[in-house]
Structure 1
Amino acid sequence: MEFYFDKNIKRFVGSEVRTWRGIKTSRIVSFIGDYHLEFRNRLIGLMQKRKKFISGYFDMEPFEVLRDMIREDQFNAIGGAPQLLKVYEHMNRIPIAVKWAINQEQLTTLLGRPLQTHEISNYPTIDPDTLIIEKGSSFG
């Protein structure tokens, strides 16, 4: 289900999330937030550019779009370090730390929070520019 606020009746309502039209996969995607249409359009554009929109699957494209939108100053309702989770087929999940520049300093963040110098993360860490993921000591 996808929930949204209906301004006409002034309450939240739900609707079924459907697959994207015009593609050959059963990709089901829902976008929420202040800039969901801009995000959706950018994601479609990126997938088309990489020739993955019709029959491909997502890799890091949603993260790349979010990263770029956060870094642009025109989307001031979003910001800070991205929060990233890997969700497995059976809904197991693991957070992924993100290297992120905060006040011109490169820090490792976990679920949006900068790690302190004495903290050690056992979770994988992604470089948002190269998309290289370094595995943490307990990440299999």
Structure 2
Amino acid sequence: MFNHSRSFISGLPRGQKVPDDPEALFMLSGYSWKNKAFRVWTLHYDRSVHGFTFRPAKEWGGQSAGSAKLIAYSGDEAPVQAAKAKLVAVLRDRSKLAEGSFDMEPLEVLRDLIRGGAHPSIGGPIQVVKIYEHANAVPVGVYWPDKESGTVSVLGRPLMSYEKTQWGVLDPDAPARAYSAPALDSVASDESISEEPAG
């Protein structure tokens, strides 16, 4: 679809026969029934084939038996490199560099980079989507900039006072637990929600 759409670009500058190589990256994530595992693919433009192609994310190397970590990054080079370095430091500090799997460490790293303000190309409320093996995906709210603010954002947008989210809300400073959030204008509840979404 991307390559087909690109073929219709017109109105190029005089003398230019083909559009410039796009720098856009797209990420697709989900559960693969074929492989019985979660997968991440990066859609990128490959100059060698003159078109968009997919690059699958690979498991993090150097893991002990029974350990598995899968992560992919997208964005400007400086914040991506900062995120990689910080994630390694966090995992090393928790003795998880070669053991276990990810919990909420990637979210914590993103939170700290946004709050730090050193990379203006990233910012705003963190966006979280939970993907299930049974082909469901649900947006999870995030208290932003923190739980004390009482402001809930879903998919990067603060909810209006009359809006509700049924999938729970994460505290970015304690992301291992989700809270119910009946509405933005009510006080945040300390009642934890079920791991499975209601439905």
Q: Give the alignment's TM-score, normalised by structure 1.
A: 0.81
Say which one has the larger Rg: 2
Q: 1:2 aligns with which of 42, 64, 85?
A: 42
Which residue identity lines up with residue 4 of structure 1 in the other structure?
H
| Other-structure match for 2:20 | none
Q: SS in structure 1 opposite 2:163?
A: coil
| Other-structure match for 1:69 | 113
Contact 2:68-2:100 within 8 A present in 1 as well: no
Deviation at 1:9, TM superposition (A): 7.8
Query: Aligned pairs, how many?
Result: 139
Contact 2:44-2:54 within 8 A present in 1 as well: yes
Q: SS in structure 2 opposite 1:101?
A: coil
Deviation at 1:115, TM superposition (A): 0.8
Distance 2:49 2:179 in 1: 48
Q: Could you give the per-residue CA deviations for residues 79-123 of structure 1, whole angstroms, max 9, x where no partner exists?
A: 111111122234422211111139xx5411111111111222222
Q: 1:134 aligns with which of 175, 179, 195?
A: 179
| Other-structure match for 1:15 | 55
Q: SS in structure 2 opposite 1:22?
A: coil
Distance 2:170 2:70 in 1: 25
Which residue identity lines up with residue 133 of structure 1 in the other structure?
A
Distance 2:49 2:118 in 1: 31
Deviates further, 125-134 or 10-19: 10-19
Q: 1:81 to 1:57 in 2, by over 3 A?
A: same
Q: 1:18 to 1:31 in 2, by over 3 A?
A: same
% of aligned pairs identical?
31
Runs of 4+ in 1 over 6 A off after TM superposition: 7-10
| Structure 2: segments with no counterpart, 5+ residues | 1-40, 183-192
| Other-structure match for 1:120 | 164
Distance 2:166 2:133 in 1: 22
RMSD: 2.8
Greater percentage in strand: 1
1:83 aligns with 2:124: no
Distance 1:69 1:7 in 2: 31
Q: 1:10 to 1:46 in 2, by over 3 A?
A: farther
Distance 1:113 1:124 in 2: 15
Which residue identity lines up with residue 115 of structure 1 in the other structure?
L
Q: Give the alignment's TM-score, normalised by structure 2.
A: 0.59
